[in-house]
Structure 1
């Protein structure tokens, strides 16, 4: 009987130091020393990462927080209020980053900054409120929002840098799990269908490279090969063409088109979570439901509901 491997176990595998979490061996990166400067750099990187993944138009400068709050509080239309709440979240996020940057600059000039400093408290309050409002913000694709991206800067602010790095391994493992779930569902749904013969190795290759991309930091020398592999395998998957017979029926053509949409949607979803390095459970669940509908349609040979996207 194999003894379960404890989370946090570190081993050198094929010359690379790796840490085990939830069944995955992840590449280890040494965290910087815990300091305000390190936290400033980390929060700055997390800020850029956040705005790179969320909907456009919410990267509001921190100095406009009063205007953003007034616009949000005055709005009564639910749809407009959501967007203005997202804009306020962005302003709060940037205000926190602005404050933290100045605190680090003061520390570099020899000014002692303790955790109970009024500006430190305001920084934490801004991050906390932006985390709450962040639930209103959508992913740039229009899919569900990613709450994790809003919570990370607050965690980076609140806990030691090393502890933050450790928490990221958990999220990366969870993301890899969902990459595998999506890939497995795509294979189950499509690979046994003659229309999509040959799709399985493309899906497996894409999922494998996606997991490598997920664990690889942009500062890693390997990123040039990793990103190129990720893009090329993504393009190969989305370029797959169903094998329609010359005398294909209307239903076959419709199923082929629906299956192609599933391939692209699955590719896109894996790309979103790979780049963000956090799961998107609602989008993943809805995608799997679409796969089930398509699979049922294939069994009857009638396109039917497979042509209708789920709400």
Structure 2
């Protein structure tokens, strides 16, 4: 199974290859972004058929990672727009805007599918065709609404996912693939940041002193998953490794420690149940990033702040529960 190769500085004077450099490492081509040598995949030919398949895959991926109820058929676009425009309650208006975005995406996919069918029948399709323009406008309108949509965790939106189908429509496929490698590198970077925060927080607390190994194992498995497509022959090993590493981390058993003598010792008392919940929250956040292959900066920042608060006070600040599955 492949592994993720990371550049590590030996001295302050090290110079690294420029971003986007490609090399063959262990018989596999990899591209360098954010200090990681990321596994590359063959780029399909830049055709309407290839773009159709890519946009369909990106749309399925979008609905897989966002809050439920957004997969509105494209044929109901008019109803979705009318319901959104008539809504005055701010909360319901946000949800209806998200549903409208879903309908717009599905309408764009429907149009692209028909264009490919026409092309297969020998009808030449030009970039300035009316249906092509309508398809692009649907994707653009959906992207504009994407900021109101939450990730399935309920913590934040992933605007990047809403822009991907439009980019796949509007730029050459090779350029689209290259941009994805950039985002994968950023995702790996954030996975490692979360892991380092967890280790820095919990390894200083006696009950959690053995946390480093399961955290690093999980982060390594998450980085490998981030670079691996579902169509890769290694996906069976990659996914099972990630899940089992996540289970080991979530089932971490704190080491029993002698009860302190209270205020006379001046030692801070840490609520172990809060620490365990914080570890599981970190595990979940890394899962979200690895599966979406997209950074979640707001959630990463807030998780870091919660770890810092726990280390300083012995208590973890309240975190809202994720949206129901």
Q: Residue 295 of structure 2: which of 267, 279, 286 is its match?
A: 279
Q: Distance in 1 between matches of 2:279 and 2:121?
A: 55
Q: Distance in 2 between matches of 1:248 and 1:288?
A: 27
- Give the unaligned 5+ runs of structure 1: 298-302
Q: Does 1:256 align with 2:272?
A: yes
Alignment of structure 1 residues 43-58 onto 2, 5 Å: 43-58=55-70
Runs ≥4 in structure 1, deviation > 4 angstroms? 246-254
- Give the unaligned 5+ runs of structure 2: 1-12, 321-325
Asked if 1 retains the 8 angstrom alpha-carbon contact of 2:115 and 2:125, the reply is yes
1:31-81 deviations in whole A, cap 9, x for unaligned? 101000000000010011000000000100001011001110010110000
Q: Distance in 2 between matches of 1:75 and 1:248?
A: 57
Asked if 1 retains the 8 angstrom alpha-carbon contact of 2:77 and 2:107, the reply is yes
Equivalenced residues, count: 304
Q: Distance in 1 between matches of 2:66 and 2:261?
A: 42
State the partner residue of 1:239. 251
State the partner residue of 1:15. 27
Deviation at 1:254? Answer: 5.7
Deviation at 1:249? Answer: 8.7
Q: Kindly tell me: are residues 307 and 10 of structure 1, through their superposed partners in 2, closer, same or farther at Cα, counting changes over 3 Å?
A: closer
Q: Does 1:169 align with 2:181?
A: yes
Asked if 1 retains the 8 angstrom alpha-carbon contact of 2:187 and 2:294, the reply is yes
Q: Distance in 2 between matches of 1:239 and 1:113?
A: 56
Q: Does 1:265 align with 2:281?
A: yes
Name the one with the larger helix percent: 1
Asked if 1 retains the 8 angstrom alpha-carbon contact of 2:282 and 2:303, the reply is yes
| TM-score, structure 1 as length reference | 0.94
Alignment of structure 1 residues 1-311 onto 2, 5 Å: 1-245=13-257, 247=259, 255-297=271-313, 303=314, 306-309=315-318
1:196-246 deviations in whole A, cap 9, x for unaligned? 021100000100110000000011100010000000000000000222336
Deviation at 1:22? Answer: 1.8
SS in 1 for 2:32: strand
SS in 1 for 2:23: strand
